[in-house]
Structure 1
Amino acid sequence: MNRIDAKRRNVVDHRKRQFAEATYKETQYPHRLNFYAIPPTADITLEQFEQWAIDRLRILAELEACSFRNKTPAETAAHMKPLLEKYLPLDSSGNEKFLFAQRQKDHYSHFILRLAFSSTEDLRRRFTRVETMLFRLRFQDEPSRDRSAFVKTLNLDWETVDEDEKKELASELVTTVGFNFGGSRKGSNQVQQVMEEEWCKVDWERVPDLIENRRVVLRKGKAYVPAREQQSMVLSEFTAKLEKALEITSRALPRLDEDDRLTPILNHLSKNFITPDSSYNGSGTSVEGMEISARNIDNLSQHFPMCMAHLHRTLKRDAKLMHFGRLQYTLFLKGIGLNLEECLVFWRSSFNKITDDEFNKKYRYNVRHVYGDVGGDSNRRGGGYSPYSCQKILTEHAPGPGDAHGCPYRHFNMENLAALLQASGVSEKGVLQGVQEDKEKQKFHMACNRVFEHIHKNELKKARDEGIMTPVQLDTIVHPNEYFKRSYLLKNLGKQPQQQPQQQQNSGGGGGDGDVKMDG
């Protein structure tokens, strides 16, 4: 017997209506720019879901890095152009099918990251800020005709100024914003330009920045804004709508907990906002002509990031490292191209206080396992485990007493960090102060990049001035092995490469960032 009241059977909780399942609607992209007001509904693969989000995250993280480095708008635009072309291209003209694919990726990746970064107020605030920066970059780059056509589709609460009103206020418009037309002196040519310009009027509270810079006319509580100054209002509208949308998304997140496919991906993406993750290619950090051998590691350590330099010094001092320190350092050495045989030689010579028998029993198997020489089938097929990225070092396996692994910028107090930096030759007060500010803001990868740029400032200037390295090659470092490669290349600009030893085997990486057992 059915005990459910038939009259109440179809009643839907009003709180769930706003999160009702979306019906499929084919999306059109008539414009390059997007306010992301309509969620996507078409199906995509899990691989697209993750890869599109990662590509967009790279762009947002790099924009945030430009902001923390106090780059000017022009410098930011120049720096971001090749990165956008590589990870998130968005052309204004071309093959229709090609343009659709670009705009679809942009649309979907925004909403995927919106899911990932709406869980906390801090993530929502940061996401809104960098998304607005990205929109501003594109808005400024958009041809004026396409930009005007896009703005008209937004149906913003603006009142267009007609011809009669422009004539009536022409003298005031010229006086107030005359510098926009090439000078402050009034004349017939300027009046004509005022008449040709599209103007709108809005409540003055909406454009405080334009009022402060005297770029608008105020009359009866209304601000008269020329088309070329409407960017400020469009950006404010974009930010306000995104903030509201993120609040709504945060309330919908509990419904995703039941989906065991998406939740791990979204959690991984939100973690990566501490520092963007970096995929590792086994050959991506090798340098042609560089001698990678056990005997040369001490010499190469001058190019190590602080995390690996600290492990190297600790190993030399104590002739031992704890479990996660050995794992982190072994994977890094593997990533720079040290083959299995040389790695075993390196660890045996470093552990100089123990016997051969003790080394073979406690440590030899573990090193071979990291390289994929022994272990499970999946480990062998993948060639072992990949070197840890900055993101993994920052977020997993926090060091305890006696440990030397982890990220010094995160896990050291400022006093110990300053001592470590000074021991590495970084003693300028301004750099140390900047590192402290980055640490307080939890921008640990920015602190590392700040130190890198200080140590290599002369080489970086030469590389940029002579066009030796492109902006893509000089983007923010998010992997210790990339730090090493870039440091070595910069310090050896214009030098003949050393003779490369016979091709080493088992030096490449593969597989994902996995945990492996290193007992002893």
Structure 2
Amino acid sequence: MFRHSEIKNFKPQKRTLTTSESASTAGEYPYRLNFYERPPLFEVTVEDFEECAIDRLRILAEIESSYARNRTWEELKEVTGKLCRKYLHLNSNQTAIGHINSQEQRKRDHLGHFVLRLAFCRSEELRRRFVKAETTLFQVRYEEDDSLERIEFVNSLNFGWTKVTSADEKGSLEEELKALQVKQSTSSDNYVKVHWTKVPDLVAKRRVFLRGGFAYVSSQEISSIIFHEFESRLEKALEHTAKMLPRMDEDTRLVPILNNLSQGFLVGIPSEWSSAPSSGDEVRAEMIDDMAKKHFPLCMRNLHECLTRDRHLKHFGRLQYGLFLKVLGLSIDEAIHFWRKSFSNLTDDKFNKEYKYNIRHSYGLEGKRANYPAKSCQQILTTDKPSVGDCHGCPYRHFSPENLQSSLLTHYSSQGLDTTDLHEIMRTVKDGHYHVACTRVFEITHGRKGVKKGDGIGGGESVTHPNQYAARSIEIEKEQSQEGTAMAVVVD
């Protein structure tokens, strides 16, 4: 927000850059803040095209998750700020380490925004969610930006306001403006006049004075004009992009990427989690049962339970669970031992002929010898929908409400989850925020180990991958064990 003195530095703009002028300054980013009014006019590889979009999508997805988790504005800002520094950091003009570095950061930010425009312009629902998340990201960056850079950025745009400088005009409205200051519990001698449609939120809250179709806005409320303008311009730009998108249908390189991105946003999570960590230690077959009870997310707990009960899993269940265990740290020899022991009702000959090859194949030792990654939450949610008799999939999405509640209590009651927690979890499930429900379960079941509501799996981040859930759970247990050992040494 602006300080009282900042409004004096704003100058109403009488013109904006023309298309040709915008083109001539392509690649130049004087500010961290951006209204994204011109498309990227530079060459880019397909890899960068996708990578920039995925990095931005991680942030937007967590913003949407923050709303679903009812975080306060300060909590949302903190989480968003951490993710921005991790995936989409932008140096200020004062702190930038070299002009080229800051320009490259802003170029990636610019590119990622426009790629996601292409992915999310396809339906009204996607556009609505994208606009809300992007506007929130802009607000966070706006509040954290350097005040002088922020003023220069706003002065470079045209918001259609007029600074109220006339003594006669101020005098004729003296009583009304004083009354406005009382309502706001603040005082200001600086106002701008703008058409009331530019500040509908302030009009609804009665925080402006209206006369003749114009709203008189104090310096403390200037940001509302800017945020509303960002939102309305983005909405119009997305509608225009949607009309142009059919021209790209024949581009076989980009359409699959855009489909994947939009699909990832629909389930409320990043479309890719490419660095699923292992536990760091060798995992042996006999350890799996105990690890499942303490560290596995519900999807893997359910698969393990089905495997233990039926001594069998169907193809997609074996694939989902087998790749999860592989990334967790189960070696190929231990994996064969684990699955052979689990399929105890089969003969050695049948197991070797029908199942051993597939296990070796998933480890890249047979067939085309590809090193298959474990399935992410996005893949589990959107592909290979389970049918009757299947155990794979996401319980938060594919279980009935009754079965989900029963399963949660069965698997996690010993870790602190009880019936009082189910209402919040089921509410997020009903709203389609499955990853938020899973994240909340993680927080509850690790509450005894110091994880608080809002912490997520660390730094406020939501669960986006089953291995991410398990690895963080194992890490927390190790930290607790090391702290206990250290305290024992001190006592001795």
Q: What is the CA–CA distance in structure 2 between the aligned matches of 1:123 and 1:423, rounded to whole Å?
A: 36
Residue of structure 2 in register with 1:434 after alignment: 424
Residue of structure 2 in register with 1:505 after alignment: none
Q: What is the CA–CA distance in structure 2 between the aligned matches of 1:29 and 1:55, rounded to whole Å?
A: 19
Check 1:28–1:280 CA distance in 2 against 1; reply closer, same or farther (3 A cut).
closer
Q: What is the CA–CA distance in structure 2 between the aligned matches of 1:314 and 1:265, rounded to whole Å?
A: 35
Partner secondary structure for residue 333 of structure 1: helix
Q: CA deviation at 1:237?
A: 1.2
Q: CA deviation at 1:496?
A: 3.5
Q: What is the CA–CA distance in structure 2 between the aligned matches of 1:140 and 1:397, rounded to whole Å?
A: 43
Q: CA deviation at 1:311?
A: 0.5
Residue of structure 2 in register with 1:511 after alignment: none
Q: What is the CA–CA distance in structure 2 between the aligned matches of 1:464 and 1:329, rounded to whole Å?
A: 28
| Residue 449 of structure 1, aligned match among 439, 449, 457 | 439
Query: Does the aligned pair in 2 maintain the 1:24–1:41 contact within 8 Å?
Result: no
1:7-22 to structure 2, matched below 5 A, reads none
Q: What is the CA–CA distance in structure 2 between the aligned matches of 1:456 and 1:322, rounded to whole Å?
A: 31
Query: Does the aligned pair in 2 maintain the 1:49–1:112 contact within 8 Å?
Result: yes
Structure 1: gaps (5+ residues): 1-21, 185-189, 499-520
Question: Is it true that 1:324 corresponds to 2:316 in the alignment?
Answer: yes
Q: What is the CA–CA distance in structure 1 between the aligned matches of 2:277 and 2:386, rounded to whole Å?
A: 26
Q: What is the CA–CA distance in structure 2 between the aligned matches of 1:50 and 1:414, rounded to whole Å?
A: 36
Which deviates the most, 233-242 or 433-442? Answer: 433-442
Question: Is it true that 1:256 corresponds to 2:248 in the alignment?
Answer: yes
Q: What is the CA–CA distance in structure 2 between the aligned matches of 1:133 and 1:98, rounded to whole Å?
A: 25
1:222-237 to structure 2, matched below 5 A, reads 222-237=214-229
Residue of structure 2 in register with 1:9 after alignment: none
Q: CA deviation at 1:81?
A: 1.6
Query: Does the aligned pair in 1 maintain the 2:320–2:392 contact within 8 Å?
Result: yes
Check 1:111–1:143 CA distance in 2 against 1; reply closer, same or farther (3 A cut).
same
Question: Is it true that 1:177 corresponds to 2:169 in the alignment?
Answer: no
Letter matched to residue 177 of structure 1: Q
Check 1:153–1:449 CA distance in 2 against 1; reply closer, same or farther (3 A cut).
same
Q: CA deviation at 1:346?
A: 0.5
1:50-449 to structure 2, matched below 5 A, reads 50-93=50-93, 94=96, 95-164=98-167, 165-166=169-170, 169=173, 172-177=176-181, 194-195=188-189, 197=190, 199-273=191-265, 274=267, 275-281=269-275, 284-288=276-280, 290=281, 292-302=283-293, 303-377=295-369, 379=370, 384-426=371-413, 428-449=418-439
Count of aligned pairs between the two proteins: 453
Q: What is the CA–CA distance in structure 2 between the aligned matches of 1:463 and 1:245, rounded to whole Å?
A: 37
| Residue 479 of structure 1, aligned match among 465, 473, 476 | 465
Superposed CA offset, 1:50-101 (max 9, x none): 1000000001011111111111111111122221011111222222211111
Q: What is the root-mean-square deviation in Å for CA atoms of aligned residues? A: 2.5
Residue of structure 2 in register with 1:8 after alignment: none
Check 1:441–1:464 CA distance in 2 against 1; reply closer, same or farther (3 A cut).
closer
Q: What is the CA–CA distance in structure 2 between the aligned matches of 1:31 and 1:350, rounded to whole Å?
A: 59
Structure whose alpha-carbon radius of gyration is higher: 1
Identical aligned residues as a percent: 44
The TM-score normalised by the length of structure 2 is 0.86
Q: CA deviation at 1:406?
A: 0.8
Partner secondary structure for residue 230 of structure 1: helix
Q: What is the CA–CA distance in structure 1 between the aligned matches of 2:451 and 2:338, rounded to whole Å?
A: 35
Query: Does the aligned pair in 2 maintain the 1:369–1:375 contact within 8 Å?
Result: yes
Q: What is the CA–CA distance in structure 2 between the aligned matches of 1:207 and 1:24, rounded to whole Å?
A: 33
Q: What is the CA–CA distance in structure 2 between the aligned matches of 1:136 and 1:342, rounded to whole Å?
A: 50
Partner secondary structure for residue 268 of structure 1: helix
Residue of structure 1 in register with 2:481 after alignment: 495
Residue of structure 2 in register with 1:13 after alignment: none
Letter matched to residue 241 of structure 2: T
Structure 2: gaps (5+ residues): 1-21, 485-492
Q: CA deviation at 1:175?
A: 4.0
Superposed CA offset, 1:327-359 (max 9, x none): 111100001101011111111111111111111
The TM-score normalised by the length of structure 1 is 0.81
Greater helix share, structure number: 2
